[in-house]
Amino acid sequence: MFSKSAEYALRAVIYIAQNDTESKKLGLAEIAKAIDSPKSFTAKILQILTAENKIISSVRGPNGGFYITEKSKQLPVRKVLEVMGEGGVLDKCVLGLAKCSETKPCPMHAQYKLIKKQLITLFETKTIKNLADEMRKGDVFINNRLK
Amino acid sequence: MFSKSAEYALRAVIYIAQNDTESKKLGLAEIAKAIDSPKSFTAKILQILTAENKIISSVRGPNGGFYITEKSKQLPVRKVLEVMGEGGVLDKCVLGLAKCSETKPCPMHAQYKLIKKQLITLFETKTIKNLADEMRKGDVFINNRLK
DNA sequence: ATAATTGAGGATAAATTTGTCTTTAATATT
DNA sequence: AATATTAAAGACAAATTTATCCTCAATTAT
């Protein structure tokens, strides 16, 4: 559904948000390991998330790393997709038609629009904090390792 | 959501299935134009759909082209995705986690699984014929041109 | 100040996807 | 049989995505 970049971005943001060892920032190495993503590539993604529209923040130097403000935690998950340039995926026609619309629907439109709506709602109502909290509780996970 | 290849494939199959000028096959040029796809690339895709698991059929030579049997029209749309190597997209974890499951869910799992289920149901219950019929009726479209 | 640590930024590379072109094979028509 | 038409097949090219690496800048600690 999403690109690897977007997937890594979502995982990284959730992982960073879930860290509540107050004031302890998370380093690239730790993040990449935690979310099972290639380190250097993850660095690029974190760079985008830090720059562009400032979802996360960073500090360089010893004990530096990434963190997210309480304010940013209130952002809907969709914001992460947007910053990664994939906000549109949720709006797109399943058949890839630019002109697909209510007045000129594709053969899948009528049925898919109901699903699309839920998808959009999900990504717009769930906040980064919501997901991070779930994870902190220990009910959900974000890596591919078994234990 | 899907790759261009899968999108073109879906559009092409629906377009071919919608043609009911009995026994008149559709040529590559016509198909590509009708579904707004690059001709040569579409040729490759039609080749896959014709070979692999035989969703559509073809004949070479004058008046040759592509067509689909009534039997193949009964196939669920998902079959097209499968042949294009994208059947898995519908099952995948939104965060891209290979290990995401009911017992080890990702932070989006609980909510997304409900949507995923509908998505799978849609692609498994809708047949190629269903979509083609809609199109033949003239209620739905498959190209990006306005008129 | 110096050294060590860590992210930022840029260049580059590998892999994959998307796309084109040319030749060959099959079929139909003359 | 010769010619024309059309898909198949293969080689190749362009574009995009994914990934790595190296140097620079910022920050901290000594």
pLDDT at position A146 is 59
A91: left (phi over 0), alpha (psi -120 to 50) or beta: alpha
pLDDT at position A147 is 56
- Using CA coordinates, name the residue in chain B closest to A14: B107
Q: Which residues in A lie closer than 8 A to residue B1 (C-beta atoms)?
A: 1, 89, 92, 94
The shortest CB-CB distance from B142 to any of A2, A107, A143 is to A107
The shortest CB-CB distance from B99 to any of A7, A100, A146 is to A146
Q: Which residues in B lie closer than 8 A to residue A132 (C-beta atoms)?
A: 107
Q: Encode pLDDT of B52-63 as tens digits.
A: 768 999 999 999
Q: Encode pLDDT of B28-43 as tens digits.
A: 999 999 999 999 999 9
Q: Which amino acid, one-letter code, is at B135?
A: M
The beta strands (E) that lie in chain B are given as 57-59, 65-67
Q: Encode pLDDT of A62-96 as tens digits.
A: 999 999 999 999 999 999 999 999 999 999 999 99
pLDDT of A23 > 90? The answer is no
Cα(A135)–Cα(A139) distance, integer angstroms? 6
- Residue B29 contacts strand D, CB under 7 A: yes
**Strand D neighbours among B 33-52, CB < 7 A:** 40, 43-44, 46-47, 50-51
Which is nearest to A26 in space by CA: A132, A146, A125, A138? A132
Contact between B95 and A7 using a beta-carbon 8 Å cutoff:
yes
Dihedral Cα A112, A96, B116, A55, nearest 10 deg: -110
Contact between B144 and A97 using a beta-carbon 8 Å cutoff:
yes
Percent of chain B whose predicted confidence (pLDDT) is above 90: 90
pLDDT at position B53 is 65
The CA distance from A18 to the nearest CA of chain B, in Å, is: 11
pLDDT at position B102 is 96
| Disruptive mutation site among A19, A124, A140, A147 for chain B (greatest number of B CBs within 10 Å) | A140
The shortest CB-CB distance from A119 to any of B7, B95, B115 is to B115
Q: What one-character-per-residue DSSP string does B117-144 give?
A: HHHHHHHHH-BHHHHHHHHHHTS---SS
pLDDT of A52 > 80? The answer is no
The shortest CB-CB distance from B144 to any of A99, A115, A122 is to A99
Percent of chain A whose predicted confidence (pLDDT) is above 70: 97
Contact between B1 and A114 using a beta-carbon 8 Å cutoff:
no
For residue B69, give every residue at least 6 positions away whose Cβ sits within 8 Å of its Cβ, in sequence order, or none: B57
Strand, helix or coil for residue B58: strand
A57: left (phi over 0), alpha (psi -120 to 50) or beta: beta
pLDDT category of residue B105 using cuts at 50, 70 and 90: very high
| Residue with tokens 């499951």, as numbered in its chain | B101
Average pLDDT of chain B is 95
pLDDT at position B42 is 98
Contact between A107 and B14 using a beta-carbon 8 Å cutoff:
yes
Cα(A65)–Cα(A63) distance, integer angstroms? 7
Cα(A54)–Cα(B105) distance, integer angstroms? 28
Q: Which residues in A lie closer than 8 A to residue B11 (C-beta atoms)?
A: 95-97
